[in-house]
């Protein structure tokens, strides 16, 4: 059955590439991309007819007219929406980052909402008892520590164990379909922020990643799920999100626009130490490195002098509203990605730490940070070796090869799961 699904997916990929050629105007106008939910609807919801459907989603699960996938499936003729499953932030986006989500009833549809970001992060047999097929529709950002892909993988595993079908309604990767950075997660560092052995940036859409996890035997139980991926129409791997014509609905509170999906991997690793501001709590989340003891001009010059490809920096002074640095006048740098295809996005975390250590040797970040945060840092990075090597000299050169050691083989391995050119 999986082989048949994969064959169909490859055929659909060919259709997608043809659609791209037809959609692009000679003038270079932006291409309108249809997300999986619209492709499913255009096909009359054929794969869901007569089935009891569960849905994992959040506010980012919408069509191009901002209608929620919840409401689309609830109203679909021949489809019975029996349950909703709430990941981090809840199905309607009304839960703060990190807070547990409670079971409830969705007031708009009357459908039961089960929490899968609390006591249970994997749907139980009881939660799935009234479901034939579990559908997933969430905008991803292409970074391993962004927990929605962990939710997807655990839900796939639950369906595999219980003989339920699983469907992914595909969406773009805003970092692009070619960007791969970071080492594979090592055995001691698996967690909800590093659920699977994939790089930090993995260059796959949610649907492609689901296929990779399923076919490579990476689900927790080792079983395979009966998987269907409904691909997009019109998306290509090198496409900027701004070219898709799709509206951006923030998948979590600190990713307000698609550009911030690119900045998230640039500072989120440093952010785990909670000792300098990365812009969370201000108007520029993940775009900054700031502290009271930093001189903005000196730090900016140091970062610019590295001549990192595709990146630029400017000095900035801020006063955060909450989180690290709340209410304090702090300063540092604001990052600008000029060309993400060549920019060392994730290594920018370490370049910033390197230059801060050189400028302020009495304020080493791992000394300033709470040591209880080391474990989470390692889990996000996917290895204890990175911190161990970096802390010796605070030099990127000491970790660069290790950080990139899995990039080439993963890039080659993932290619057979590409649904888009």
Could you tell me the residue ranges of all domains in the chain?
A: 2-249+410-417, 258-383
- Which one, of 27, 3, 68, 32, lies nearest residue 232 by Cα? 32
What is 258-383's CATH topology? 3.90.1150
- Which one, of 155, 275, 138, lies nearest residue 213 by Cα? 155
Instruction: pLDDT band for 30, please (50, 70, 90 cuts).
Output: low
Q: Using DSSP, state whether 326 is helix, strand or coil.
A: coil
Q: What letter does residue 185 receive in the DSSP assignment?
A: P
Cα–Cα distance for residue pair 201/263, rounded to 1 Å: 12
- pLDDT above 50 (res 28): no
pLDDT cut 70: percent of the chain above it: 90
Q: What is the mean pLDDT of residues 98-114?
A: 84
Q: What is the mean pLDDT of residues 280-298?
A: 98
pTM for the structure as a whole = 0.91
Q: What is the mean pLDDT of residues 381-405?
A: 98
- Which one, of 186, 183, 228, 233, lies nearest residue 210 by Cα? 228
Among the residue ranges 107-111, 274-278, 374-378, 379-383, the one predicted with the least confidence is 107-111
If you search the block for the tokens 């520029």, which residue do you land on? 284
Residues 211, 196 contacting (CB under 8 angstroms): no
- pLDDT above 90 (res 29): no
Cα–Cα distance for residue pair 54/262, rounded to 1 Å: 31
- Which one, of 252, 235, 117, 106, lies nearest residue 174 by Cα? 235
Cα–Cα distance for residue pair 366/152, rounded to 1 Å: 33
Q: Using DSSP, state whether 401 is helix, strand or coil.
A: helix
Residues 321, 391 contacting (CB under 8 angstroms): no
- Which one, of 375, 389, 297, 311, lies nearest residue 348 by Cα? 311
C-beta atoms surrounding 390 within 10 Å? 23
Q: pLDDT at position 184, please?
A: 98
Digit-coded pLDDT (tens) for 192-237: 999 999 999 999 999 999 999 999 999 999 999 999 999 999 999 9
- Which one, of 198, 204, 238, 237, lies nearest residue 219 by Cα? 198
Of 194 and 107, the structure prediction assigns the larger pLDDT to 194
Instruction: pLDDT band for 1, please (50, 70, 90 cuts).
Output: very low
- pLDDT above 50 (res 26): no
Please give the structure tokens belonging to residue 15: 């259709």
Mean pLDDT of the chain: 92
Instruction: pLDDT band for 92, please (50, 70, 90 cuts).
Output: confident
Q: pLDDT at position 414, please?
A: 98
Cα–Cα distance for residue pair 255/264, rounded to 1 Å: 8
- Which one, of 83, 283, 69, 240, lies nearest residue 164 by Cα? 83
- pLDDT above 50 (res 151): yes
Q: pLDDT at position 119, please?
A: 86
- pLDDT above 60 (res 24): no
Q: Do domains 2-249+410-417 and 258-383 have the same CATH topology?
A: no
Using a 10 angstrom Cβ sphere, with 0-12 exposed, 13-18 middle and 19 or more buried, the burial of residue 88 is buried
Q: pLDDT at position 20, please?
A: 39
Please give the structure tokens belonging to residue 192: 């909800």
Instruction: pLDDT band for 179, please (50, 70, 90 cuts).
Output: very high
Tell me the CA end-to-end span of the chain in Å, nearest whole number: 25
Q: pLDDT at position 100, please?
A: 64
Write the CB contacts of 14 (distance below 8 Å, at least 6 apart in sequence): none
Q: Which residues pair with 233 in a beta bridge?
A: 34
Residues 156, 218 contacting (CB under 8 angstroms): no
- pLDDT above 60 (res 333): yes
Digit-coded pLDDT (tens) for 229-276: 999 999 999 999 999 999 999 999 999 999 999 999 999 999 999 999
Instruction: pLDDT band for 19, please (50, 70, 90 cuts).
Output: very low
If you search the block for the tokens 């130490």, which residue do you land on? 273
Q: pLDDT at position 367, please?
A: 96
Residues 37, 169 contacting (CB under 8 angstroms): yes
What is 2-249+410-417's CATH topology? Rossmann fold (3.40.50)
Q: What is the mean pLDDT of residues 176-199?
A: 97
Which helix (H) or strand (E) is 135 found in, with range? strand 133-137
Residues 217, 200 contacting (CB under 8 angstroms): no
Q: What letter does residue 46 receive in the DSSP assignment?
A: G
Query: What is the pairing mode between strands 226-230 and 288-291?
Result: unpaired
C-beta atoms surrounding 328 within 10 Å? 13
Helices (H), 292-373: 296-305, 348-359, 365-368
Digit-coded pLDDT (tens) for 51-60: 999 999 999 9
Q: pLDDT at position 8, please?
A: 43
Q: What are the start-end ranges of the E strands in 37-118?
A: 52-57, 80-86, 104-105, 112-115
Instruction: pLDDT band for 104, please (50, 70, 90 cuts).
Output: confident
Q: pLDDT at position 89, please?
A: 75
């Amino acid at each position: 059955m999986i082989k048949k699904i994969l064959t169909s997916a490859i055929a659909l990929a060919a259709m997608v590439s043809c659609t791209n050629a037809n959609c692009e105007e000679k003038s270079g106008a932006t291409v309108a991309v249809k997300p999986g939910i619209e492709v499913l609807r255009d096909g009359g919801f054929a794969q869901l007819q007569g089935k009891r459907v569960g849905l994992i989603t959040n506010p980012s699960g919408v069509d191009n007219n901002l209608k929620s996938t919840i409401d689309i499936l609830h109203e679909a003729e021949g489809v019975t929406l029996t349950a909703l499953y709430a990941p981090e932030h809840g199905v309607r986006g009304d839960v703060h980052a990190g807070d547990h989500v409670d079971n409830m009833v969705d007031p708009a549809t009357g459908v039961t909402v089960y929490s899968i970001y609390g006591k249970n992060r994997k749907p139980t047999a009881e939660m799935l008892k009234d479901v034939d097929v579990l559908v997933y529709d969430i905008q991803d950002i292409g970074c391993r520590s962004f927990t929605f892909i962990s939710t997807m993988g655990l839900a796939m595993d639950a369906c595999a164990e219980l003989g339920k079908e699983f469907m992914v309604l595909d969406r773009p990767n805003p970092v692009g379909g070619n960007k791969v950075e970071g080492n594979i997660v090592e055995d001691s560092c698996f967690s909800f922020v590093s659920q699977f052995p994939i790089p930090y940036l993995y260059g796959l859409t949610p649907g492609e990643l689901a296929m990779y996890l399923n076919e490579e035997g990476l689900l927790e139980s080792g079983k395979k799920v009966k998987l269907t991926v409904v691909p997009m129409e019109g998306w290509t791997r090198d496409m900027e999100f701004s070219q898709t014509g799709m509206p951006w609905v923030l998948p979590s509170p600190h990713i307000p626009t698609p550009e911030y999906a690119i900045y998230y991997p640039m500072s989120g690793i440093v952010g785990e130490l909670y000792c300098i501001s990365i812009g969370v709590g201000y108007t520029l989340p993940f775009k900054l490195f700031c502290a009271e003891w930093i001189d903005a001009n000196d730090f900016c010059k140091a970062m610019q002098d590295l001549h990192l490809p595709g990146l630029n920096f400017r000095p900035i002074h801020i006063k955060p509203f909450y989180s690290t640095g709340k209410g304090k006048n702090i300063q540092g740098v604001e990052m600008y990605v000029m060309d993400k295809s060549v920019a060392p996005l994730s290594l920018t975390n370490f370049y910033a730490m390197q230059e801060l250590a050189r400028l302020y040797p009495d304020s080493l970040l791992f000394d300033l940070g709470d040591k209880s945060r080391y474990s989470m840092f390692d889990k996000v990075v996917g290895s204890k070796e990175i911190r161990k090597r970096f802390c010796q000299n605070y030099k990127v050169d000491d970790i660069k090869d290790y950080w990139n050691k899995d990039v080439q083989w993963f890039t080659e391995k993932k290619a057979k799961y590409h649904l888009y050119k």
